[in-house]
Structure 1
């Protein structure tokens, strides 16, 4: 192999990675959309050492996400493939608003906020781990109501301080297959929680835009229901019959569309704190006071999303399998709608595979 030609190609790939970094791409994003192979981590790490001209948060995330070590790439064909794919990448807007890590976010909470966060997380963990569906539903409803009340407190703080909402973005890496269907489920989770979502790259890079706490909640909730989508899709009552009659693809398309639609409806219902005797007069008054701030938050999110993505199109996904439609609807009702409680799903449900 011509070593000079190889080194020139490595340098060309590194320059394209630097350009992608300037366009808002992070190492984890590039690992997701590029054809993976030996040497990519080496290129990303050496590029991270050079990305000092980017805004502070972006450079810091490059340092966090790059991995030291590994040998330089030596596959010329792979290097050329990376170069072609990197040249096709477009700007990712909002790079300076990328959601902080969990450690950074929790460190920024005061004691009441941290306790509120822990209460919701504890309810959701219990809901995911119980083997009784009715108990899980009751726990999830309580967690959803608490989340909305804490959200109300956040909005009232904005109203009192006169400060607007802090807009954040999050990157979601959707794994093939069924990327468009997963993106639809992401939108179904985002909308009831005050966020917007978009499938940015065909290989499964999706972005969420919203107020910081809302984006974090959507990210965690989607991680859970998306994993449940995959499990139910393979194990629901009609899945075996669909395989037997060679209808698996049609069944799964219909299942996922129905599942996303029903999850969205359930989350919209859960996001509404009941107007009943359990709510005190003070809470009712606070809710009314927060309406202008809530409207302001929704407008701010919509404006930010429209600025970031002024030109976008909608997806049209078909659904023609009645069994898949019914199973998707039923599976949504049996899903745990809280953030990512991985142990519960891989515990009791994995045993029935």
Structure 2
């Protein structure tokens, strides 16, 4: 039997069913034919390429494989994506960064049957990936008007924002974290205005883009609310896909980068504060950990969103006083973001926040958000 026929028979038997017996039979066919490995790898690259055409990106696939399978499958996927990338077209810096973030540990090779089983389990998952909304200009490589912009190195403002948030995460003093986060958010707002004015004066103004940010369990609903608040304060819009564990954030590139940075930092700060608050509750004899954490994060998201919007509005108003054309430009960009969002997601629904019924958790989460709030105390130097 030819190697391609071996792979075909294995796929017919193991990929399109759901029972373990069919999977074992298919793995046995592959294990008995070492010459089929090359063809098996080539067909895996085709599955990866199909995932890209369905709107998925490397980070998205990695996220769902981690969620549904185990570390062996994650390593198999990383090797497969790298192999496919060698034959793929350039897809921009964000894509390149996702490729660079793939795990680089080699896949442990055990017996051939176990290896073939893991490969088939991975391919089963890839085969069943649904179609997602394309992020890159509705299928256009790089998105409209973004190629030149994305090739630029990180701006000094973004580097400073990153450094401020890193310090906020590292400090053990809430008030210091508050001041550092305040500086970061105000700098983000100023950077957004500068980028908007720069873009408006360019021969071909940039169009809004989109990215996906993972919203990981547990307590993912509260985390999605926090991400939505961060996006809203930074001239972006977010749509949560609960079944697949991510939010799609739509906005201009500099604002998307700011949202990713600030959401990640606030989440780190929230989880650190939650751990300390929970320890204090336990010391007092309290044991309702799940309800406490859910309410803590819900309150944190609500309060942080209020503070974020306040500092963004204040900074934007100040920019409008300094630059007469700033507010019309920002309004035009927000309209473009809304238009892009509505074309990507013509139908969305809202959901009520569940499980935020623990008074102690809500109180502590509110207090933690106040400690990490982003209301500036003094102008940036």
Contact 1:169 1:215 in 2 (8 A): yes
Structural RMSD (CA): 3.8
Contact 1:17 1:44 in 2 (8 A): no
Moved more, 256-265 or 229-238: 229-238
Distance 1:136 1:118 in 2: 18
Counterpart in the other structure of 2:369: 332
Counterpart in the other structure of 1:2: 28
Distance 1:332 1:70 in 2: 42
Moved more, 82-91 or 125-134: 125-134
Distance 2:294 2:62 in 1: 27
Counterpart pick for 2:152 among 98, 104, 108: 108
Distance 1:242 1:296 in 2: 53
Paired residues in the alignment total 326
Q: 1:53 to 1:256 in 2, by over 3 A?
A: same
Q: 1:69 to 1:273 in 2, by over 3 A?
A: same
Distance 2:79 2:63 in 1: 16
What 5-or-longer segments of structure 2 have no aligned partner? 1-26, 376-381
Counterpart pick for 2:340 among 285, 304, 310: 304
What 5-or-longer segments of structure 1 have no aligned partner? 339-353
Q: Does 1:82 align with 2:122?
A: yes
* Cα deviation 1:163-202 (Å, max 9, x = unaligned): 4344232332333222222222111211111112223352
Contact 1:197 1:206 in 2 (8 A): yes
* Cα deviation 1:135-179 (Å, max 9, x = unaligned): 554454344333323322222223333643442323323332222
Distance 2:95 2:294 in 1: 40
Aligned to 1:273, what secondary structure does the other structure show?
helix
Q: Please show how residues 154-233 of structure 1 align to structure 2 within 5 Å.
A: 154-161=195-202, 163-200=204-241, 202-233=243-274
* Cα deviation 1:64-108 (Å, max 9, x = unaligned): 455584357843554454344333322233343689xxxx98971
Counterpart pick for 2:330 among 291, 294, 311: 294
Counterpart in the other structure of 1:345: none
Aligned to 2:347, what secondary structure does the other structure show?
coil
Aligned to 2:341, what secondary structure does the other structure show?
helix
Counterpart pick for 1:32 among 24, 46, 63: 63
Q: Please show how residues 278-293 of structure 1 align to structure 2 within 5 Å.
A: 284-286=321-323, 288-293=324-329
Q: 1:307 to 1:31 in 2, by over 3 A?
A: same
Counterpart in the other structure of 2:107: 70
Counterpart in the other structure of 2:5: none
Contact 2:73 2:119 in 1 (8 A): no
TM-score normalised by structure 1 residue count: 0.75
Q: 1:46 to 1:329 in 2, by over 3 A?
A: closer
The answer to which structure, 1 or 2, has the higher relative contact order (CA under 8 A, 6+ apart) is: 1
Distance 2:131 2:351 in 1: 21
Moved more, 139-148 or 129-138: 129-138
Counterpart in the other structure of 1:21: 52
* Cα deviation 1:272-314 (Å, max 9, x = unaligned): 33699xx6xx96151x412221111111111112222223322
Aligned to 2:352, what secondary structure does the other structure show?
coil
User: How far does residue 247 in structure 1 lie from its aligned partner after superposition?
Assistant: 2.0
TM-score normalised by structure 2 residue count: 0.70
Q: Does 1:317 align with 2:353?
A: yes
Distance 1:123 1:71 in 2: 40
Distance 1:314 1:207 in 2: 15
Counterpart in the other structure of 1:341: none
Aligned to 2:314, what secondary structure does the other structure show?
coil
Counterpart in the other structure of 1:268: 309
